[in-house]
Amino acid sequence: MSNLVLQAENVSKAFADGEKSIQVLQGLNFNLAAGESSAIVGASGSGKSTLLQLLAGLDQTDTGSIAVAGQIWAQMSAAESARWRNQNLGFVFQFHHLLAEFDAVENIALPAIMSGLKPAQAKARAKELLVKVGLQDRMQHRPAALSGGERQRVAIARSLVNEPACVLMDEPTGNLDQANAEQVLGLLQALQKNSNTAFVVVTHDSQLAAQQDSQWHLRGGILNADLPS
């Protein structure tokens, strides 16, 4: 498929624990096309965070390869990987990781400025995204003046500012109360329907997992395309 934006082929990863080797991932295959979304579910310690690190090119596989937007991480230098990551991947974490000294517009614009966009253009794009996430009245607010749900919406807008091929999300509703989580769920669903960006969502939230195009279960280092009953 020519529109694949994320390809993981025969990926394995192990870590040393003293004299022993712990196999975290083995023989993993995973593809995602433009505009598709996929949830990855698994128990704590199942390797979900390791998988995200590998998909993002922040760690290297022991075997197999991972490509984002047609480029294989292992074939790029550290500098090339950093540029490719900033241009083609967005990130949303359980905690928003916004910069306290910057307002909402500045936080969103920063990745675009780092990728070479002029500050005025980056801020204009940031303002458009803030409107999309329903925060047009909170543009000049710093993180401390925003609610938890609002901070996460700013983080989601920031992940989209470079119009990435794929957004990786790690428990995006995990730090929110039910009301804010439902609001973010609705936002994500709307954004996914109107975007050519692919989304990978690592989550324990069954409602969030169910709204993705596909659900994968990670257990024993193996990724299966179905959830346990």
In order of their start, the domains of the chain are: 4-224 (3.40.50.300)
Is residue 227 pLDDT above 80, yes or no? no
Confidence of residue 206 (pLDDT cuts 50, 70, 90): confident
The structure tokens listed for 198 are 């692919």
pLDDT tens column, 131-161: 888 888 989 999 999 988 888 889 989 988 9
76: DSSP letter = S
Q: Rounded distance, CA 96 to CA 81, Å?
A: 23
The CA–CA distances, whole Å, from 160 to 91, 163, 207 equal 9, 5, 22
Phi, psi of 31 (to 5 degrees): -125, 145
Is residue 43 pLDDT above 50, yes or no? yes
- Altogether, the residues listed in the chain come to a count of 229
Q: What is the mean pLDDT of residues 165-181?
A: 81
- Identify whether the C-beta of residue 15 lies closer than 8 Å to the C-beta of residue 21: yes
Confidence of residue 229 (pLDDT cuts 50, 70, 90): very low
- What percentage of the chain carries pLDDT values higher than 90? 28
- Identify whether the C-beta of residue 166 lies closer than 8 Å to the C-beta of residue 30: no
Could you please report the per-residue DSSP string of 133-188? TT-TT-TT--GGGS-HHHHHHHHHHHHHTT--SEEEEESTTTTS-HHHHHHHHHHH
Which residue type does 65 have? S
Helix (H) or strand (E) holding 59: none
